[in-house]
């Protein structure tokens, strides 16, 4: 007679969605780090990444180096959230929810200011991601862990 393993669901392989969100957080960290580098050290070959959105680059550069440091803070927050996310820590889930909630709010502000396409698409996409994070099954995967 074989014994059955009674391991908790958090010890089994991660669901695809939870893993994807963790990778998304680290991808965001990478992009925020790249933005920070180009804003803190303008005029390097890294500036080419802004060819996709040159107006945003001009606007951000006009705000000074402080914006570059804010991107460093964003990158650190995303790295921290990603680390907590993959370790299935409650604080990692809370931080991810806070970051995505901020994105939803920012996209809503853009929408209300008249940037219809980017505001609406960002609001919908970030809103769907936030809805996923708030699903009971996702939340419970983190709330069972302490620390």
The phi, psi pair for 144, rounded to 5°, reads: -80, -20
Phi-psi region at 146: left, alpha or beta (left = phi > 0; alpha = psi -120 to 50): beta
pLDDT of residue 113: 92
Cβ–Cβ under 8 Å, residues 84 and 145: no
pLDDT of residue 14: 65
Of 20-34, 53-67, 95-109, 127-141, where does mean pLDDT reach its minimum? 53-67
- pTM of the full structure: 0.83
pLDDT of residue 9: 46
Helical spans, DSSP H, in the chain: 16-40, 54-62, 65-86, 90-112, 116-133, 136-143
pLDDT of residue 97: 98
Average of per-residue pLDDT across 55-62: 88
The model's pLDDT over 92-129, given as tens digits with 9 standing for 90+, comes to 999 999 999 999 999 999 999 998 998 999 999 999 99
- Rounded to 5°, the CA angle 108-141-76 comes to 55
pLDDT of residue 52: 87
Provide the 10 A C-beta neighbour count for residue 9.
12
pLDDT of residue 139: 92
Q: Kindly state the tokens that stand for 31.
A: 């992009």
């Amino acid at each position: 007679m074989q014994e059955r393993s009674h391991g908790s669901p958090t010890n089994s392989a991660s669901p695809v969605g939870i893993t994807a969100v963790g990778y998304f957080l680290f991808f965001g960290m990478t992009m925020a780090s790249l933005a920070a580098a180009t804003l803190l050290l303008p005029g390097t070959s890294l500036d080419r990444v802004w060819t996709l959105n040159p107006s945003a680059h001009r606007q951000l550069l006009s705000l000074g180096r402080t914006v570059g440091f804010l991107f460093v803070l964003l990158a650190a927050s995303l790295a921290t959230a990603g680390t907590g996310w993959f370790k299935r820590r409650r604080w990692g889930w809370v931080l991810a929810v806070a970051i995505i909630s901020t994105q939803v709010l920012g996209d809503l502000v853009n929408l209300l200011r008249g940037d219809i396409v980017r505001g609406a698409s960002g609001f919908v996409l970030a809103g769907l991601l936030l809805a996923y994070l708030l699903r009971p099954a996702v939340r419970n995967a983190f709330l069972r862990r302490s620390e």
